[in-house]
Amino acid sequence: MKTSFYYQQQSLYCENTNLNAFAQKQSSPFYLYSKNELLQNCKAITEAGSGSDFLPCYALKANYNPTLLRLIRDMGFGADVVSGGELEFALKIGFPAEKIVFAGVGKSAAEIEFAIQTGIHSLNIESAEELKQTARIAARLQKKVRIALRVNPDIDAHTHAYISTGKHINKFGITIDEALRLYPAAANDPWLNPAGIHVHIGSQITEKGPFLKTVEFLLDFASLLKDRNVPITYLDLGGGIGVNYKNDFRDPDVPNSYISEILPAYINGLKDSGLKLVAELGRSVIATSGLLITQVLYRKQTPLKKFIVVDAAMNNLIRPSLYSAYHEIVPLNLDSQEKETVDVVGPVCESGDFFAKDRAMQPLKQGDFIAITAAGAYGQALASNYNLRPDIPEYLVDGETVLTIYKGRSISDIYDYYEQ
């Protein structure tokens, strides 16, 4: 699958739009997304599930810009939500309730009631106490609710510790032994329908192995439940498929995402189960469609380091500070084959405000624009107004047309919010 970002005559393009020319006319920093890249990712996911009873659900936590959500919805996706706020947002966008799954380790009673009243596809249950709470609320409402227990298979996803979720040291899910006790109890409850098994082993996984182990686990566990007269009708596969954060767009044959390498193998391993398959995908849908565009403010030299100070900061994209996450950083104009080793940092008053450390890059000067790549997921969604830095605009490229899909906020907007 070809990326929608490429260099032509030394300038970086998104679809048919010259990004340096566009950036010269805007206030920076800003987020910019490719409609074509987003739709390509969605298509790759739906094609991986063709021939199966397959429901891909987009994880709103990755990016909840309404324009992007509507594009994803129109590709046939459901929604994966982890809060009452996300559930309400998904419904407002127009995701059908019957195509929404609700995950999350700490759902409140109000959130559970909202989900049951709404009639969503299913609740993913994370603990014995949450199961009891759900049963009490469903009985009071006299509405039967479809559930899946999130079973923790103790599979190492070989990813960052902060985004590993399928080991016994993680807060997520229920152990296999406990789940084997809870499923029959749920099946005997008149208001619970334990129809599914849910797993999610982690995020930013770039190899098939952990998913193939998960296939074995799901098939074995479904068989154990069948022996206990618990009729499972669907498997919720979770998500976690990674993207290529090191693509600098200079080689058009370098994959931008691992969807096509991983997801078909995951789904094919379960096709013969006869069960409906649900997936919860966020990063692999949206990450590679987005760039954070920022301008060089200053060069700075200390006895030990060269710094490139840019006008974006950790409040705009916190992943490097939070996870030491790697994002490729590319110039909007290529003008040198030379490299220098620099730290790319923002203006926030924290030593942790950086985008790259000891990175070999084309020499940059004041006023140059650069793009932080694969920033469509967990960028704007994790942004803050720390240091009273306002939210930044978001743009969507559709061929040669660029649409404003979020105008950002001003300091006056933030002040007025508190003074209301």
Please report, in angstroms and rounded to a whole number, the separation of the first and last CA atoms in the chain: 48
The catalytically annotated residue of 14, 42, 57, 349 is 349
Please state, as a whole number, how many other Cβ atoms lie within 10 Å of the Cβ of residue 220: 11
Question: Would residue 57 show up in a list of annotated catalytic residues for this protein?
Answer: no
What are the tokens at 160? 């960052």
Q: Facing residues of 359 across strands?
A: 342
Report the b/e string of 242-256 with b at 16+ CB within 10 A. bbbbebebeeeeeeb
**Whose CA is closest to 154, among 163, 143, 165?**
165
What are the tokens at 366? 């004041």
DSSP class of residue 192 equals E
Count of helices and strands (H, E) across the chain: 12, 20
What is the distance between the alpha carbons of residues 79 and 94, in angstroms, rounded to a whole number?
10
**Whose CA is closest to 187, among 151, 146, 219, 127?**
146
| Residue pointed to by tokens 């094919």 | 268
What are the tokens at 262? 């991983």
What is the distance between the alpha carbons of residues 212 and 197, in angstroms, rounded to a whole number?
16
Q: Facing residues of 272 across strands?
A: none
What are the tokens at 285? 């849908």
Which residues are known catalytic residues? 349
